[in-house]
Amino acid sequence: MTHKVLLLPGDGIGPEIAAQAARLLKACQEAGLDIEVEEGLVGGSAYEVHGEPLPAETLEKAKAASAILLGAVGGPKWDKLEDLSKRPEKGLLGLRKNLGLFGNLRPAMLYPQLASASSLKPELVAGLDIMIVRELTGGIYFGQPRGIEERNGERVGFNTYVYSESEIERIGRVAFEMAQKRGKKLCSVDKANVLEVTILWREVMERLAPEYPDVELSHMYVDNAAMQLVRAPKQFDVVVTGNMFGDILSDAAAMLTGSIGMLPSASLNESGQGMYEPCHGSAPDIAGQNIANPLAMMLSVAMMLRYSLNEAAMAERIEAAVGSVLDDGLRTADIASEGTRRVSTVEMGDAVLAAF
Amino acid sequence: MTHKVLLLPGDGIGPEIAAQAARLLKACQEAGLDIEVEEGLVGGSAYEVHGEPLPAETLEKAKAASAILLGAVGGPKWDKLEDLSKRPEKGLLGLRKNLGLFGNLRPAMLYPQLASASSLKPELVAGLDIMIVRELTGGIYFGQPRGIEERNGERVGFNTYVYSESEIERIGRVAFEMAQKRGKKLCSVDKANVLEVTILWREVMERLAPEYPDVELSHMYVDNAAMQLVRAPKQFDVVVTGNMFGDILSDAAAMLTGSIGMLPSASLNESGQGMYEPCHGSAPDIAGQNIANPLAMMLSVAMMLRYSLNEAAMAERIEAAVGSVLDDGLRTADIASEGTRRVSTVEMGDAVLAAF
Ligand SMILES: CC(C)[C@H](C(=O)O)[C@@H](O)C(=O)O
Ligand SMILES: CC(C)[C@H](C(=O)O)[C@@H](O)C(=O)O
């Protein structure tokens, strides 16, 4: 059966890195992968054409696809849009919500070749390999009521942080299963000493634990988790948390590696359909200069092959190609260091393809 | 006029470090400071005696005091209390709310003597000096409605993240004024690409900016702020944010120094009354062993002298005493390193008093 893959370049550096992913997809096809690749508009670039960050056409294509590859969305150009529903980010949030992509996997791992890129002391991050499992379709991102309104003669802004037992259980199971496949340690992050919604979160995690007797479950308050990530990140294996805390902690964890330009992510729904994207943003400041790092995007292709297309062997070929390119000392500007060879976005794409 | 100072030792290591603060207060009195010191119960230790984390008696004493010195609250013993309103943390939150202590100042600075304690590379943190201004009596910590209830046959937990214009303006002014006294850079942290409440936050900060033309205002999304703290913390001078984001970011920033046992904090209300406490927690795992670091607590005394009692000269004497003790190589376990002399909680107190 031919899998449909939807490529959504998005904004900023998105199109440049998506172009390298497109070349890689073609190479996979030539190597026997049975896929059909379509493209679509999302984010600010969709807004420019259709007046909406998530046009109906894109959503239809996304629903029909086995997997979506997204570059990045957003930029200063659209930050001033009064109507929040028109902002590029809403394209991303709309895809997550409409496709039910509740399970966000954000690995933070340190490539040995890039150990010196971390801002942390080498001994604290050598071998770092954390998987953050973030709930992606609930919590304060989508909670109702929300808005800005007049109360007692002044404006008040409000959002609602809400989770139901079934939402918590669903992401909890993803995290426990992930821990079973990895180091068998799961840390659930909440603020149960202050927020009722996270008391329920903790309770549900506790209730699930006996079903996964081989996994050691612990709990940590979010403020402490932020500290422990800075102090001793290697204590973590799998971390599970809600949408907002996950946004913050996964970015902090990714940055610990010093090479966020290397990190892919997956967002999965219950039927295994997935959206794959780099952990980094659209980096408008360096867009159009052919200097962005395409590796997170190319590694997102690998993650897609593994999680949505069940093509682990081909995923490994891509990962090995990236490893050998790093071994050869090729680096885009963001990961450059002394004694390495600085290459452009396209040159990095060339090198991975040659090694594939 | 005799100032009343209320000392609330709290739980865990609280009583041990509070004892050193009490000795320091006595030394200040002997040096001519006109204060009257009372003690009170708060947190788990208050719950044990009165069945409440914030007994009426403690609240009365707190209201009558010019300043409050708090050790720390909380511990595993009370983490299982079903009734959230009885947990130690509610003692702290109750004090903040009842006294209107909306302005939380959390400095993250690196003592040059302790530069090697940071988990970050020395060049990234040398000279680090950030002031995080956190709103402390609003936001999701206190927002209504909140709770856990049955909806459509399952339980749902919910909290409300809410800020009014006047709340935002009030903390904004504290932050702008702080920036004026420091490096004249203010970074406001929000999640205005997703949360309406922080769109209002950003708008109010923008509106205040023209009144402080000497301060350069910037905005950053909270996920990016967490990354930037890890990547290049010295880019920050003053950071202003809401209660929840402030909780997370101030702990991360404090941990960057590697010596959270050194950092005091202040929580102020509109009339200058303040509560002063270490940034660290109650550390139940090391309680009762005479090994906790009393310096954050002793430096909280200095911060109190400066902000609530208008005794800057005596504050400086304390800070200088702490500096000279560090110069002499004395270290509690948490900040120990090769070639330094390991001392107990009481010995550290002795040394600061001797140098005072
Ligand atoms: C762009 C933004 C809406 C998004 C989020 O907050 O989820 C991004 O930060 C992410 O983490 O994917
Ligand atoms: C103990 C807890 C309620 C408190 C908070 O979250 O505010 C603490 O973490 C702090 O930062 O002072």
Comparing CB atoms, the residue among B146, B156, B164 nearest residue A164 is B156
Residues of chain A in contact with residue B248, where contact means CB-CB under 8 angstroms, are: 222-223, 226, 245, 248
In 3D space, the residue among A302, A294, A299 whose CA is nearest the CA of residue A16 turns out to be A294
pLDDT on residue A1: 80
Q: How many whole angstroms from its chain centre is CA A337?
A: 26
8-state DSSP, B22:
H
Contact A22, A79 (CB under 8 A): no
Active site residue A212: no
The residue written with tokens 């896929």 in the block is A35
8-state DSSP, B31:
T
pLDDT on residue A9: 98
C-alpha–C-alpha distance, residues B127 and B108, integer Å: 11
In 3D space, the residue among B179, B67, B190 whose CA is nearest the CA of residue B139 turns out to be B190
Average the pLDDT over A11-20 and give the result: 98
Query: What pLDDT digit, counting tens, does each position of A240-266 carry?
Result: 999 999 999 999 999 999 989 999 999
Concatenate the DSSP letters of all residues of A326-350 into one string.
Answer: HHTTEE-GGG--TTSEE--HHHHHH
Q: Output the CA–CA distances (angstroms, integers) from residue A345 to A289, A322, A355, B255, B319, in the order listed.
A: 9, 13, 16, 36, 51
Dihedral, CA of residue B174, residue B176, residue B182 and residue B185, to nearest 10: 140
Which residues, judged by CB distance below 6 Å to any ligand atom, belong to the binding site of ligand 2?
A 193-194, 223; B 74, 89, 92-93, 247
C-alpha–C-alpha distance, residues A130 and A300, integer Å: 17
Report the gap between the CA of A300 and the closest CA in chain B (Å): 21
Confidence tier at A80 by pLDDT (50, 70, 90): confident
Phi/psi at A273 (nearest 5 deg)? Answer: -65, 145
8-state DSSP, A211:
G
User: Residues near A179 by Cβ (< 8 Å), separated by ≥ 6?
Assistant: A185, A186, A212, A215, A237, A238
Confidence tier at A39 by pLDDT (50, 70, 90): very high
Nearest ligand (C-alpha, residue A11) = 1
C-alpha–C-alpha distance, residues A186 and A238, integer Å: 5
Contact A92, A42 (CB under 8 A): yes
Contact A59, A11 (CB under 8 A): no
Which residues, judged by CB distance below 6 Å to any ligand atom, belong to the binding site of ligand 1?
A 74, 89, 92-93, 247; B 193-194, 223
Point out the ligand 2 atom lying closest to the alpha carbon of residue B246: 11
| Chain pair A-B, CB pairs under 8 angstroms | 185
pLDDT on residue A40: 98
pLDDT on residue A44: 97
CB contact under 8 A, B224 and A260: no
Using DSSP's 3-state secondary structure scheme, residue B336 falls into coil
pLDDT on residue B1: 80
Instruction: Name the residue at shortest CA distance from atom 8 of ligand 1.
Output: A247
Q: A224 CA distance to ligand 2 centroid (A)?
A: 10
User: Residues near A309 by Cβ (< 8 Å), separated by ≥ 6?
Assistant: A3, A33, A35, A66, A67
Q: B247 CA distance to ligand 2 centroid (A)?
A: 7
CB contact under 8 A, B191 and A143: no
Instruction: Name the residue at shortest CA distance from atom 2 of ligand 2.
Output: B89
* pTM strictly above 0.75: yes
pLDDT on residue B84: 83
Q: Determine how β-strand A3-10 pairs with β-strand A67-72.
A: parallel
pLDDT on residue A81: 85
Query: What pLDDT digit, counting tens, does each position of A276-297 carry?
Result: 999 999 999 999 999 999 999 9
Contact B303, B297 (CB under 8 A): no
Report the gap between the CA of B158 and the closest CA in chain A (Å): 4
Contact A41, A55 (CB under 8 A): yes
User: Residues near B196 by Cβ (< 8 Å), separated by ≥ 6?
Assistant: A84, A146, A147, A148, A157, A158, A159
Candidate list A247, A276, A307, A334, residue with the active-site label: A247
Which of A11, A106, A197 should we substitute to test contact with B (largest number of B Cβ atoms within 10 Å)?
A: A197
C-alpha–C-alpha distance, residues B99 and B122, integer Å: 40
Phi/psi at A281 (nearest 5 deg)? Answer: -95, -160
Residue A137: CA count within 13 A, CB half-sphere: 18
C-alpha–C-alpha distance, residues B76 and B5, integer Å: 29
Q: Which two tokens stand for residue A142?
A: 């989508």
Give chain B's domains with CATH numbers. Answer: 1-102+269-356 (3.40.718.10), 107-258 (3.40.718.10)
Q: Which two tokens stand for residue A251?
A: 């970015």
Comparing CB atoms, the residue among A79, A154, A251 nearest residue B227 is A251
How many angstroms separate the most distant Cα atoms in chain B? Answer: 66
Residue A208: CA count within 13 A, CB half-sphere: 25
C-alpha–C-alpha distance, residues B192 and B194, integer Å: 5
Residues of chain A in contact with residue B156, where contact means CB-CB under 8 angstroms, are: 162-165, 200
Point out the ligand 2 atom lying closest to the alpha carbon of residue A221: 9
Candidate list A191, A212, A237, A334, residue with the active-site label: A191
Residues of chain A in contact with residue B147, where contact means CB-CB under 8 angstroms, are: 196
Per-residue confidence in pLDDT tens, chain B, 356 aa: 899 999 999 999 999 999 999 999 999 999 999 999 999 999 999 999 999 999 999 999 999 999 999 999 999 999 888 888 899 999 999 999 999 999 999 999 999 999 889 999 999 999 999 999 999 999 999 999 999 999 999 999 999 999 999 999 999 999 999 999 999 999 999 999 899 999 999 999 999 999 999 999 999 999 999 999 999 999 999 999 999 999 999 999 999 999 899 999 999 999 989 999 999 999 999 999 999 999 999 999 999 999 999 999 999 999 999 999 999 999 999 999 999 999 999 999 999 999 99
What mean pLDDT, rounded, does chain A reach?
A: 96
Residues of chain B in contact with residue A199, where contact means CB-CB under 8 angstroms, are: 84, 148, 157
In chain B, the residue whose alpha carbon lies closest to the alpha carbon of A227 is: B252
C-alpha–C-alpha distance, residues B203 and B42, integer Å: 38
Q: B187 CA distance to ligand 2 centroid (A)?
A: 22
pLDDT on residue B83: 85
Q: B141 CA distance to ligand 2 centroid (A)?
A: 10
In chain A, the residue whose alpha carbon lies closest to the alpha carbon of B200 is: A157
Is the pLDDT confidence value at A79 over 90?
no
Q: Is A228 annotated as a binding residue?
A: no
Q: How many of the other CB atoms lie within 10 Å of CB of B218?
A: 13
Q: A279 CA distance to ligand 1 centroid (A)?
A: 9
User: For residue B170, which amino acid is it?
Assistant: R
Residues of chain A in contact with residue B258, where contact means CB-CB under 8 angstroms, are: 231
Write out the H or E segment, with its range, that includes residue A8: strand A3-10
Q: Is A175 annotated as a binding residue?
A: no
Strand order in the sheet with A154-164: A147-151, A154-164, B154-164, B147-151
CB under 8 A, 24+ apart: contacts of B171-176: B171/B102, B171/B103, B171/B133, B171/B135, B171/B240, B172/B204, B172/B205, B172/B208, B172/B240, B173/B208, B174/B103, B174/B133, B174/B240, B174/B268, B175/B133, B175/B238, B175/B240, B176/B208, B176/B209, B176/B211, B176/B212, B176/B215, B176/B217
Query: What pLDDT digit, counting tens, does each position of A109-132 carry?
Result: 999 999 889 999 999 999 999 999
Burial of B288 (0-12, 13-18, 19+ CB in 10 A): exposed
Dihedral, CA of residue B334, residue B287, residue B132 and residue B3, to nearest 10: -120
User: Residues near A321 by Cβ (< 8 Å), separated by ≥ 6?
Assistant: A352, A353, A355, A356
Just list the catalytic residues of B: 141, 191, 223, 247, 251
Residues B127-157 as b or e (16 or more Cβ within 10 Å = b): ebebbbbbbbbbbbbbbeebeeeeeeeebbb
pLDDT on residue A64: 97
Residues of chain A in contact with residue B231, where contact means CB-CB under 8 angstroms, are: 119, 255, 258
Is the pLDDT confidence value at A27 over 90?
yes
Which residues are A69's β-sheet partners?
A: A7, A276
How many residues are there in chain A? 356
Q: Which of A223, A224, A228, A245 to mutate to test the pocket of ligand 2 (most atoms within 8 A of CB)?
A: A223
CB contact under 8 A, B196 and A244: no
Report the gap between the CA of B197 and the closest CA in chain A (Å): 4
Is the pLDDT confidence value at A235 over 90?
yes
pLDDT on residue B214: 98
Report the gap between the CA of B353 and the closest CA in chain A (Å): 31
Which region, left, alpha or beta, applies to residue B258 given φ > 0 means left and ψ of -120 to 50 means alpha? left
Report the gap between the CA of B83 and the closest CA in chain A (Å): 11
pLDDT on residue A204: 98
pLDDT on residue A269: 97
C-alpha–C-alpha distance, residues B72 and B296, integer Å: 11
In 3D space, the residue among B240, B313, B301 whose CA is nearest the CA of residue B274 turns out to be B301
C-alpha–C-alpha distance, residues B152 and B129, integer Å: 50
User: Residues near B98 by Cβ (< 8 Å), separated by ≥ 6?
Assistant: B54, B59, B62, B63
Residues of chain B in contact with residue A157, where contact means CB-CB under 8 angstroms, are: 162-164, 195-201
The residue written with tokens 């403690």 in the block is B58
User: Residues near A345 by Cβ (< 8 Å), separated by ≥ 6?
Assistant: A13, A16, A17, A20, A290, A291, A292, A293, A294, A332
Which of B89, B92, B158, B165 should we substitute to test contact with A (largest number of A Cβ atoms within 10 Å)?
A: B158
Active site residue A191: yes
Q: Is B146 annotated as a binding residue?
A: no
Which region, left, alpha or beta, applies to residue B148 given φ > 0 means left and ψ of -120 to 50 means alpha? beta
Confidence tier at A37 by pLDDT (50, 70, 90): very high
pLDDT on residue A82: 81
Q: Which of A193, A196, A198, A224 to mutate to test the pocket of ligand 2 (most atoms within 8 A of CB)?
A: A193
